[in-house]
Amino acid sequence: MAWIKERTAGPQTTSKVDARLPLLMHGFLDAWPAQIAVLNATGTIIAVNKAWRAFGRSNGCLEPNLGIGRKYIEVCTSAAFIDAATAAGVADGLAEFLAGKCPDLKVKYRSDSPNEKRDFLLTVARIEGLTSPFLVFCHSEVTNVL
């Protein structure tokens, strides 16, 4: 809330707030328990949150950047815990979403670990109002959700 007061206090505080926006963005992403990746308009991962990093490491991802700088579809299709049909469905949905053929993208999929059965919901949202759109990919575990 303090940054909102700073933002509305006057032009002298705008540069303080603007300088902190990247930190705020990463803090916001890290606050969510779901695994989140932010993609640019070409489908390249440009940021991931703490839950994404923890999930990747706990599932054997040895990639130091955990997908940052790679195409999301490449990361998805190389994940050992995602079956080929699901990866293909996500790839097709993403292509339609990027082309503006569908307003949203939601995919429920199975992603079992060696120790447990897990269900996830992938929700994709578009961030508009910038020179080029950005996409937010949110993987939420829905195994025990009604």
How many Cα atoms are found within 13 Å in the side-chain-facing hemisphere of 26? 8
Residue 34 CA to its chain's centroid (Å): 9
Average pLDDT over residues 4-17: 48
Residues 6+ apart with CB under 8 A from 97: 104, 105, 124, 126, 135
pLDDT at residue 1, as a whole number: 31
Give mean pLDDT, residues 131-139: 85
Q: What is the pTM of this model?
A: 0.77
For the domain spanning 32-141, the CATH number is 3.30.450.20
Supply the pLDDT for residue 6.
40
Domains in the chain: boundaries: 1-31, 32-141
